[in-house]
């Protein structure tokens, strides 16, 4: 039996397409969703990855304004989401996140509107779903006191409250900042009492979490 029955996944685009499609991860993630989709209500939000970064990086060189680059980046997340939806046998959606959250079955979406990250989209889906957890799949094993890729003295945090989360991450996004989980999405989750789990793309570890077993990651509540 699954330990949780309402879960939203926020999958960083760099997990799906770091340089090219991560076929091994996608196969295993698809198998995991198919294995449990009759026992739980999943919703999956997918980031833009390399495709979105490419447009953002080259926008000035191409004479493209920032709004247009963000608009194209949002479409890139939807392209990735459509691909993942077909893989997992879910329904691709571009509806408002809270509407998606109220639907049954497996739904996959990308960015909803400019100005929102896919973490924020996932937070609003979790609100609509009244999710047990929002699970953020990222490229680190969880939350640290600092960015572990830049600071050797960064300490891993297996659990923390929202007050401590905002103390570490701040309350808003600034250009060039590194966010293991978007602070704006954090505010939505805090307000709606949604627990957030941050884990790496190790899918055996993720399955341990889904089963209610011991796992490596961070729980924010």
Q: Please state, for a pLDDT cut of 90, what percent of the chain lies above it.
A: 69
pLDDT, residue 174, reads: 58
Tokens read off for 56? 């953002």
pLDDT, residue 177, reads: 53
Q: What is the mean pLDDT of the chain?
A: 91
Establish if 21 belongs to a structural domain: yes
Q: For 3-8, what is the mean pLDDT?
A: 81
Establish if 112 belongs to a structural domain: yes
Tell me the sheet residues that pair with 143: 157
Confidence class of residue 131 from pLDDT cuts 50, 70 and 90?
Answer: very high
Tokens read off for 22? 């991560």
* Overall number of domains in the chain: 1
Number of Cβ within a 10 Å radius of residue 215: 20
- Lowest-pLDDT range of 56-60, 100-104, 181-185, 213-217: 56-60
The Cα 2–Cα 118 span in angstroms is 26
CB 5 within 8 A of CB 41: yes
For the cut 70, the answer to whether the pLDDT of residue 106 exceeds it is yes
Establish if 1 belongs to a structural domain: no
For the cut 80, the answer to whether the pLDDT of residue 103 exceeds it is yes
Number of Cβ within a 10 Å radius of residue 81: 29
Comparison of pLDDT for 160 and 66, the residue scoring more = 160
pLDDT, residue 176, reads: 46
Q: For 109-132, what is the mean pLDDT?
A: 95
Q: How far is CA 22 from CA 13, 44, 196, in A?
A: 10, 17, 24
pLDDT in tens, 6-36: 999 999 998 999 888 899 999 999 999 999 9
For the cut 90, the answer to whether the pLDDT of residue 157 exceeds it is yes
202: CATH: 3.40.1160.10
Confidence class of residue 184 from pLDDT cuts 50, 70 and 90?
Answer: very high
Residue of 38, 32, 43, 87 whose CA lies nearest to 207? 32
Tell me the sheet residues that pair with 195: 133
Q: For 101-123, what is the mean pLDDT?
A: 94
The Cα 120–Cα 126 span in angstroms is 10
Evaluate the CA torsion angle 160, 185, 210, 16 in order and state its sign: negative
pLDDT, residue 74, reads: 92
Tokens read off for 58? 């080259």
- pTM: predicted TM-score of the whole model, two decimal places: 0.93
For the cut 80, the answer to whether the pLDDT of residue 173 exceeds it is no
pLDDT in tens, 62-81: 888 888 888 888 999 999 99
| End-to-end Cα spacing for the chain | 24
CB 49 within 8 A of CB 19: no
DSSP code of residue 108:
E
CB 110 within 8 A of CB 70: no
Residue span of the structural domain in which 54 resides? 6-220
Establish if 35 belongs to a structural domain: yes
Tokens read off for 180? 């293991």
Confidence class of residue 60 from pLDDT cuts 50, 70 and 90?
Answer: confident
The Cα 209–Cα 133 span in angstroms is 11
Strand 156-157 and strand 143-144: pairing? antiparallel
């Amino acid at each position: 039996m699954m330990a949780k029955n309402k879960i939203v996944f926020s999958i960083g685009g760099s997990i799906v397409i770091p340089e090219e499609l991560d076929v091994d991860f996608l196969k295993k993630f698809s198998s995991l969703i198919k294995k449990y989709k009759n026992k739980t209500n999943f919703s999956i939000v997918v980031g833009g990855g390399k495709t979105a970064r490419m447009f953002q990086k080259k926008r000035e060189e191409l004479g493209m304004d920032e709004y247009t680059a963000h608009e194209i980046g949002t479409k890139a997340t939807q392209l990735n989401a459509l691909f993942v939806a077909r893989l997992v046998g879910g329904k691709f959606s571009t509806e408002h996140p809270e509407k998606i959250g109220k639907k049954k079955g497996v739904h996959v979406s990308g960015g909803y509107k400019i100005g929102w990250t896919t973490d924020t989209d996932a937070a609003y889906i979790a609100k609509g779903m009244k999710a047990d957890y929002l699970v953020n799949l990222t490229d680190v094993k969880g939350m640290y006191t600092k960015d572990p890729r830049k600071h050797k003295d960064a300490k891993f945090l297996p659990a923390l409250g929202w007050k401590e989360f905002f103390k570490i991450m701040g309350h808003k996004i600034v250009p060039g900042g590194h966010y293991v989980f978007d602070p704006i999405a954090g505010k939505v989750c805090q307000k709606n009492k949604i627990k957030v789990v941050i884990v790496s793309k190790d899918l055996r570890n993720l399955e341990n979490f889904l089963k209610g077993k011991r796992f490596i990651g961070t729980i924010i509540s």
